[in-house]
Amino acid sequence: MTMRSQARGFTLVEVLLALALLFVGVVAAAPMFIFAMKETAAGADMGSVGAAAVDRMELLRASDFYSLPAGGSLTSNVSGYSDASNVRYTVRWQIVDNGNPATMKTISVRAFAARQAIGNAKEVILTSLRAR
């Protein structure tokens, strides 16, 4: 019997080297996947925030002119002028009478997510004029 001098396949050293290189690549890419997952979740929240702001603006614009009392704040929750019932976002609105007597009102709606995206806080602000 004769022995083959040339064996086929990979040596143990080659396999270990390939696994080490693969491991380094996976470890380097892991933070990118985590960042992408967080930003995707924040993007979904911003979609909900935008829809909530538009819904509130449509509701206020559809209300009778005289049933919109002036008041509210865009920076703090005011009873009757804010909605924080959803844990994912808060909606605040402000109504300002323009002129005396009021023949026009400025309606402003601000919505922001409870969970903020990486970086600056994200919010949606809508402003509309409502005539008598």
**Span 71-96, pLDDT tens digits:** 999 999 999 999 988 888 899 999 99
Contact 71, 88 (CB under 8 A): no
Residue 126 is predicted with a pLDDT of 96
Distances (CA, A) of 22 to 14, 15, 18, 29: 12, 11, 6, 11
pTM (two decimals): 0.71
Q: Quote the tokens at residue 2.
A: 């004769």
**Domain ranges, ordered by start, for the chain:** 12-131
- CA dist., res. 113 & res. 109, Å (int): 14
**pLDDT of 76:** 93
Q: Does 117 score more than 90 pLDDT?
A: no
Q: How far apart are CA 109 and CA 21, in angstroms?
A: 53
Would you state the structure tokens that stand for residue 61, as one six-digit string? 């614009």
Phi and psi, residue 44, nearest 5°:
-65, -40
Residue 57 has pLDDT above 70, yes or no: yes
Burial grade of 117 (CB within 10 A; 0-12, 13-18, 19 or more): middle
Q: What is the DSSP string of 33-78?
A: HHHHHHHHHHHHHHHHHHHHHHHHHHHHHHS-GGG--SEE-SSS--
